[in-house]
């Protein structure tokens, strides 16, 4: 905050009712009436944040991000390859955003999430979503106690630090919507009582894109709650060779040890928000998001007929937070444009709606985003 020094003068004619008045383009004066004597009273106005001591911030991040390497080592015991997936899981963990993993069966989606939960000494719950699942099976319900003649709360599996929502697109809409309050507000309402969820709280969901029978597509209101949507691809040939050897090992699967305390994750989340982001990077993020809403203003008039809706303000927030978390993983105290470009696809691919014309031409949201990134000027 920049506090403008007091300026002597006559009392305001309005008797102090006017809140503020601009005397020039760059300097503003608060106006009020002082009972002791008359003068212009200073008011505080927000100004652009100044750059912190980057060297000191880098040293702090380098010291407090040592657990990242420990987590990666534990995850590599169980998950061969798929470094992009494990990095995105860590970004969601550090930024406090939920992650949706999409891929064909057998790509270690569930294994990666279970391994991450095992590497952190936190409470873990797995919910297998099925068509006959009820909201009470996820959140909990009220149970009548005939001996005490009263109802008591039976909390569901949502009351944990890490929630694995396995095959989330197999549950009907009423069950999917039951997660909305928990994902966004970090709280659950059962009966007349609202319960706060413990931190860190993270929903890691998986879905199978190839099956249509017995599945329910996630509505836009819920899929927007996921900070990242990560599309998993097949491993390389040499990686799959290691996967075969690992699963045929007579010694069995490697044991995942708990190497991080949940309190370290909460402290790291606060430090991630301190990572410096220059105004030029902020403008770059805004240019990308606004190009999804108004492509003609970004000199992309051809995309107007292909985009049905663009990213919401939550997309801008998620992209900024994810870029900071990515810089934290790289052990840097500042965000560079490459951080934004590296994470942009996972943040934006599920927040851009394409029209029927785009689907007819086999144009996906990723194709649209690729054209936007090629045109928007990089700072």
Whether the per-residue pLDDT at 28 is higher than 60: the answer is: no
Domain co-membership, 176 together with 32:
no
Whether residue 272 is preceded by a cis peptide bond, meaning omega within 30 degrees of 0, is no
Which region among 107-116, 259-268, 290-299, 333-342 has the lowest average model confidence (pLDDT)?
Answer: 107-116
CB 187 within 8 A of CB 159: no
Q: Provide the CATH number for the domain around residue 235.
A: 3.40.50.300
**Last-in-domain residue among 266, 293, 327:** 266
Q: How far is CA 9 from CA 18, 33, 37, 40, in A?
A: 15, 11, 10, 6
Q: What is the average per-residue pLDDT within 289-298?
A: 93
Q: pLDDT above 90 covers what percent of the chain?
A: 36
The residue count for the chain: 379
Q: What is the average per-residue pLDDT within 194-212?
A: 84
Domain co-membership, 102 together with 33:
no
Q: How far apart are CA 379 and CA 377, in angstroms?
A: 6
DSSP 302: G
Domain co-membership, 314 together with 167:
no
Rg (CA), the chain: 25
Q: How far apart are CA 140 and CA 14, in angstroms?
A: 58
Domain containing residue 33: 1-47
- How does DSSP assign 269-301, residue by residue? HHHHHTSB--HHHHHHHHHHHHHHH-GGGGT-G
Q: What is the pLDDT of residue 280?
A: 94
Own/partner pairs for 187-193, CB < 8 Å, 24+ apart?
188/139, 188/140, 188/155, 188/156, 188/158, 188/159, 190/139, 190/140, 190/141, 190/142, 190/153, 190/155, 191/142, 191/151, 191/153, 193/153
Domain co-membership, 142 together with 163:
yes
Q: What is the 3-state secondary structure (H, E, C) of 53-92?
A: CHHHHHHHHHHHCHHHHHHHHHHHHHCCCCHHHHHHHHHH
The neighbour count for residue 197, using CB atoms within 10 Å, is 18
Domain co-membership, 184 together with 59:
yes
Please tell me which residue, 92 or 173, carries the higher pLDDT value: 92
Q: What b/e readout covers 28-38, taking b as 16+ CB neighbours within 10 angstroms?
A: bbbbbeeeeee
Could you tell me where the beta strands, DSSP code E, fall in 106-255?
Answer: 124-128, 140-145, 150-155, 162-166, 187-190, 193-196, 202-207, 226-231
Q: What is the pLDDT of residue 273?
A: 93
Q: What is the pLDDT of residue 211?
A: 65
CB 207 within 8 A of CB 168: yes
**Last-in-domain residue among 248, 266, 284:** 266
Domain co-membership, 207 together with 232:
yes
Domain co-membership, 165 together with 224:
yes
**Last-in-domain residue among 241, 266, 291:** 266
From 65, 8, 72, 57, select the one nearest 34 (Cα to Cα): 8
Sheet (strand 162-166) strand order: 124-128, 162-166, 202-207, 98-102, 226-231
Q: Provide the CATH number for the domain around residue 303.
A: 1.10.8.80
Q: What is the pLDDT of residue 184?
A: 84
39, with CB counted inside 10 A (0-12, 13-18, 19+), is middle
The neighbour count for residue 279, using CB atoms within 10 Å, is 11
Domain co-membership, 164 together with 221:
yes
Q: What is the pLDDT of residue 24?
A: 38
Structure tokens at 371: 């054209």
pTM listed for this prediction: 0.79
pLDDT tens figures, 264-283 = 999 999 999 999 999 999 99
Q: Any bridge partners for residue 354, and if so which?
A: 307
Domain co-membership, 238 together with 349:
no
pLDDT tens figures, 330-347 = 988 899 999 999 999 999
Domain co-membership, 321 together with 256:
no
The neighbour count for residue 368, using CB atoms within 10 Å, is 24
* Residues in CB range of 180: below 8 A, 6 or more apart: 221, 222, 225
Q: What is the average per-residue pLDDT within 139-151?
A: 87
Q: What is the pLDDT of residue 94?
A: 93
Whether the per-residue pLDDT at 199 is higher than 70: the answer is: yes
Number of domains present in the structure of the chain: 3
From 67, 74, 45, 109, select the one nearest 272 (Cα to Cα): 67
Whether the per-residue pLDDT at 39 is higher than 80: the answer is: no
Domain co-membership, 286 together with 205:
no
Domain co-membership, 135 together with 27:
no
pLDDT tens figures, 40-70 = 444 443 444 455 678 888 888 888 888 898 8
Whether the per-residue pLDDT at 375 is higher than 80: the answer is: yes
Q: What is the average per-residue pLDDT within 162-168?
A: 89
Structure tokens at 360: 């007819």
């Amino acid at each position: 905050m920049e506090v403008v020094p007091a300026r002597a003068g006559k009392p305001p004619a309005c008797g102090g009712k006017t809140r503020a008045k601009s005397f020039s383009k760059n300097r503003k004066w608060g106006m009020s009436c002082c009972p002791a004597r008359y003068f212009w009273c200073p008011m505080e106005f927000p100004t652009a944040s100044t750059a912190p001591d980057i060297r000191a911030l880098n040293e702090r991040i380098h010291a407090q991000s040592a657990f990242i390497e420990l987590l990666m080592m534990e995850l590599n015991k169980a998950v061969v390859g798929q470094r992009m997936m494990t990095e995105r899981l860590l970004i969601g963990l550090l930024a406090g955003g939920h992650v949706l993993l999409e891929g064909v069966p057998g790509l270690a989606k569930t294994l990666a999430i279970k391994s991450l939960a095992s590497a952190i000494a936190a409470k873990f719950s797995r919910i297998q979503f099925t068509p006959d699942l009820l909201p009470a099976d996820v959140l909990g319900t009220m149970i009548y106690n005939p001996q005490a003649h009263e109802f008591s709360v039976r909390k569901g599996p949502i009351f944990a630090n890490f929630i694995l929502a396995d095959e989330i697109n197999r549950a009907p809409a009423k069950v999917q919507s039951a997660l909305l309050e928990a994902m966004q507000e970090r709280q659950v309402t059962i009966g007349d009582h609202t319960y706060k969820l413990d931190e860190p709280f993270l929903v890691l969901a998986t879905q199978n894109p190839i099956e249509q029978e017995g599945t329910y597509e996630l509505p836009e209101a819920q899929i927007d709650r996921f900070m990242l949507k990560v599309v998993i691809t097949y491993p390389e040939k040499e990686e799959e060779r290691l996967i075969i050897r690992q699963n045929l090992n007579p010694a069995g699967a490697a044991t995942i040890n708990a190497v991080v305390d949940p309190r370290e994750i909460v402290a790291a989340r606060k430090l991630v928000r301190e990572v410096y982001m220059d105004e030029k990077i902020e403008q770059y993020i805004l240019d990308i998001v606004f190009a999804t809403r108004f492509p003609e203003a970004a000199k992309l008039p051809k995309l107007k007929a292909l985009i049905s809706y663009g990213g919401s303000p939550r997309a801008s927030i998620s992209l900024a937070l994810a870029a900071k978390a990515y810089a934290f993983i790289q052990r840097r105290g500042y965000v560079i444009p490459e951080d934004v470009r590296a994470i942009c696809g996972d943040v934006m691919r599920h927040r851009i709606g394409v029209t029927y014309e785009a689907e007819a031409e086999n144009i996906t949201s990723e194709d649209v985003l690729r054209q936007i990134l090629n045109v928007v000027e990089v700072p």
